[in-house]
Amino acid sequence: MAKKQSSLINMVLTLFVITVVAAVALGFVYYFTQEPIAQVKEKKLNEGLMKVLPAFDHQVAEEVEGVPTYKAFDANEQLVGTAVEVVTDKGFGGDVKVLVGFDTEGKIFGYTVLEHKETAGLGSKMGDWFQEGGKGNVIGKDLSTPAKVSKDGGDVDAITAATISSRAFCDALNKAYATYTASQSSNTATEAQPAAEEAKAEATAEPTEVAENEGGQDNE
Amino acid sequence: MAYILIIISAMLVNNIVLAQFLGICPFLGVSGKVKTAVGMGSAVLFVMTLATIVTWLVQTYILNPLGIQFMQTVAFILIIAALVQMVEIILKKISPSLYQALGIFLPLITTNCAILGVAILVGNGTYNSMGLDATSLLPAIVFAIGTALGFMLALVIFAGIREHLAKLPIPEGMKGVPAALVVAGILALAFMGFSGLV
Amino acid sequence: MKEDRTMNNWKNFTKGFIKENPVLVMLLGCCPTLGTTTSAINGLSMGLATTFVLVCSNIVISLIKNLIPDKVRIPSYIVVIASFVTVIDLLMQAYLPGIYETLGLFIPLIVVNCIVLGRAEAFASKNGVWASCVDGLGMGLGYALALMILGAVREVLGSLSIFGWQFIQADGILVFVLAPGAFFGLAYFIAVVRRFNK
């Protein structure tokens, strides 16, 4: 087959046809991958929530001051915990996105790092470092006094050689707590009495449970 | 203040060549002399700023409203290729002296992944915007300028070292690119010292 | 005659591994080589993603080469390549989300990887479909192999593990996982391959 001439009409036509074919083909691929991609995202969120919250039956997503918040309930519609998805820009390599779970008392139940661009081998350790059993354990912490790394006079042990990433992590925790408190106050405003009573009832029941939990973890 | 932080962060802390590994080809290819390094750097500064503005407009006013973000890669690379061509033609007509200075570098820029990389980071709003709204235009432009300045800085320092490197006795197998890469590695080490600045 | 052709294909296939290895000998596609080789798995996945794009775009371009007027050759190739990059981008997002996140920006940046456009221009635009396919596969796998080895070396030295398996419970020589280690690793890798190619 002879090579096509480089006349203007030929050139414009070829480019146009190629682009249209490419766009249509991509549209198809996009259409077929859209669902799996959405599923992956949902699965990731659910796995994250299961990691950071006590066992729950279903969750309700809402936005508190523009921050995604997930309230988890058990089968009897009792609130078991609240998870907050926060982004901090104080990270070493850019934004750090953390999902922080609070129990009904406002103590940290768990956390998971969703996205980060921290240095591999240093700041990237934050996924394990602050977990229960990690060196900078923050689980069970009450954030009414803001989290700070020990270098800044706080009581959170920073990741070795990654103070900035650790500061960013503390910043994320504090932001999450602020959102959590805001979500609680909006809650009590709408369904004032019952919620408060529930909280009280659970507050008395909680300490033994926490102790049990900790004992169990130590044995492992 | 935040704008200054964006520039410092993009230029020094997250230097595009030495920390993000974008734009390595021109970095190794043209950085034999300080003069050409300055030329290449200014060409990148010019095109990167322009490309960021145009791709930002396309992303905000065409791709996002139509919900066809998946066409981003195709659209951006075509825009950059067309833009480089246009800049070349316009420069030739308007300012022959500037064209002489930058002209030979322009064709190389289309395949400079730093340009597309910055365009995509800005398009997705995933660059370090220091608390400013990452989806608005001004922080994006400042980020592009900072990144390009960082590229130029790395290129000029590197070229300065390589001018001396040429005169040194180096083992046969390490001559040329390997030696240059070792120098780049040491530079990257030095730039790590900026970490924590912002 | 037939034997000749299989010989030829075999040569086309194997040349990408050592003799004309795109990254180690021709120094193409350095950015992802440095940016994604923090571990063997990451390097390998990046190499395979590039191989996919390389094979597909080589096939399509060798098929349509006669329909494209010479002057718009490059933009047309870029559109074809960008389309396949978007395809692999979407597929990885859907089915390999973990790897997609670690490779991040470098997936869309396959578009500006000089290897892909280089092979399209130098080989696929002049050869038949089958030969182009073999060429793409050989070049791609050679690239993937180089990336995997570099990734493995950096992983072993930097985090004392291989393919994610930690063989000593301790911190490695961190600098090899960080930016400078990428430059040093590639420098010595190129020097070693040069020694063997002599």
User: Above 80 in pLDDT, residue A123?
Assistant: no
| DSSP symbol at A7 | -
Q: For position A184, what pLDDT does the model report?
A: 76
Condensed to tens digits (0 to 9), the pLDDT of residues C46-101 reads: 999 999 999 999 999 999 888 888 878 888 888 899 999 999 999 998 888 888 88
User: Above 60 in pLDDT, residue A205?
Assistant: no
**Residue among A117, C185, C80, A144 at smallest CA distance from B184:** C185
Average pLDDT over residues A112-137: 78
> For the CA atoms of B125, B127, B131, B132, what is the dihedral angle to 10 degrees?
-50
- C108 φψ region: left (φ > 0), alpha (ψ -120 to 50), beta (else): alpha
CB pair distance less than 8 Å for A4 and C158: no
Q: Judge whether A135 lies within some domain.
A: yes
Condensed to tens digits (0 to 9), the pLDDT of residues B93-134 reads: 887 877 777 666 777 777 778 899 999 888 887 777 776 777
Neighbouring chains of B at 3+ CB pairs under 8 Å are A, C
CB pair distance less than 8 Å for B74 and A94: no
Task: Please report the residues numbered 131 through 170 in chain C whose beta carbons come closer than 8 angstroms to any beta carbon of chain A.
Answer: 158-159
Locate the DSSP E strands across C102-194: 161-162, 165-166
Q: Judge whether A10 lies within some domain.
A: no
User: Above 70 in pLDDT, residue B77?
Assistant: yes
Residue among A27, A30, A89 minimizing CB distance to B131: A89
Which SS3 state, helix, strand or coil, does residue B134 take?
coil
Residues 6+ apart with CB under 8 A from C63: C129
Q: Are strands A96-103 and A108-115 parallel, antiparallel or unpaired?
A: antiparallel
Average pLDDT over residues B23-49: 82
| DSSP symbol at A134 | S
A13–chain C nearest CA distance, Å:
10
Chain C residues within 8 A of B73 when measuring between CB atoms = 82, 85-86, 89, 108, 111
Q: Judge whether A218 lies within some domain.
A: no
Condensed to tens digits (0 to 9), the pLDDT of residues B46-71 reads: 889 999 999 999 999 988 888 888 88
Q: For position B112, what pLDDT does the model report?
A: 77
A92–chain B nearest CA distance, Å:
7
Between A91 and B48, the more confident residue is: B48
Chain C residues within 8 A of B184 when measuring between CB atoms = 183
Q: Judge whether A47 lies within some domain.
A: no
Q: Which two tokens stand for residue C195?
A: 């020694």
Q: For position A113, what pLDDT does the model report?
A: 86
Query: Considering only A45-49, B141-145, C53-57, which range has the smallest mean pLDDT?
Result: A45-49
Q: Please check whether residue A15 touches B, CB under 8 A.
A: no
Condensed to tens digits (0 to 9), the pLDDT of residues A138-161 reads: 888 787 778 888 777 778 888 877
Domain, as residue range, for A109:
56-206
Q: Judge whether A13 lies within some domain.
A: no
The answer to whether the beta carbons of residues A72 and A59 sit under 8 Å apart is yes
A169-173, B147-151, C161-165: which has the highest mean pLDDT? B147-151
Whether the predicted model's global pTM rises above the 0.90 cut: no
| DSSP symbol at B21 | -
Crossing angle (nearest 10°) for helices B72-94 and B113-124: 120
**Residue among A114, A104, A95, A97 at smallest CA distance from A51:** A114
Query: Which residue in B15, B16, B24 has the most chain C C-beta atoms within 10 A of its own C-beta, making it the best mutation to test that interface?
Result: B24
Residue among A4, A29, A115 minimizing CB distance to C87: A29
Chain A residues within 8 A of C76 when measuring between CB atoms = 14-15, 18
Q: Judge whether A177 lies within some domain.
A: yes
Chain C residues within 8 A of B181 when measuring between CB atoms = 183-184, 186-187, 190
Number of domains in chain A: 1
Please name the residue of chain A whose CA is at the shortest distance from the CA of residue B15.
Answer: A93
Q: How far is CA B39 from CA A41, A62, B26, B114, B159, in A?
A: 45, 52, 12, 16, 12
Condensed to tens digits (0 to 9), the pLDDT of residues C147-195 reads: 999 999 998 998 788 887 778 777 778 788 888 889 999 999 988 888 8
User: Above 60 in pLDDT, residue A190?
Assistant: no
What was the ipTM of the complex prediction? Answer: 0.84
C-alpha A125/C-alpha A99 separation (Å) is 16
Q: For position A82, what pLDDT does the model report?
A: 86
Rg of chain C in Å (alpha carbons): 18
Which SS3 state, helix, strand or coil, does residue A60 take?
strand
Q: For position B185, what pLDDT does the model report?
A: 92
User: Above 50 in pLDDT, residue A201?
Assistant: no
Question: pLDDT band at residue C26, thresholds of 50, 70 and 90?
Answer: confident
